[in-house]
Amino acid sequence: MIKEEEMERALRWMATTDTELADWRVAVLRTEYLAAVAESLSYKLMEGTVEDRKRACKAAPEVQTAMENHFATVRGYEKLRAQRKSAELLIETWRSVNANQRKGNI
Q: Does residue 64 belong to any structural domain of this protein?
A: yes
Q: Does residue 86 belong to any structural domain of this protein?
A: yes
Q: Does residue 103 belong to any structural domain of this protein?
A: no
**Residue 102: band (very low, low, confident or very high) from pLDDT cuts 50, 70, 90:** confident
Question: By the 8 A CB rule, do 24 and 98 touch?
Answer: no
pLDDT higher than 90, residue 38: yes
**Residue 106: band (very low, low, confident or very high) from pLDDT cuts 50, 70, 90:** low
- The torsion region of residue 48 among left (phi > 0), alpha (psi -120 to 50) and beta comes to left
Q: Does residue 104 belong to any structural domain of this protein?
A: no
- Specify the pTM: 0.83
Q: Which domain holds residue 51?
A: 4-98
Question: By the 8 A CB rule, do 11 and 91 touch?
Answer: yes
Phi, psi of 3 (to 5 degrees): -80, 155
Question: By the 8 A CB rule, do 57 and 37 touch?
Answer: no
Q: Does residue 94 belong to any structural domain of this protein?
A: yes
Phi, psi of 74 (to 5 degrees): -60, -40
What domain count does the chain have? 1
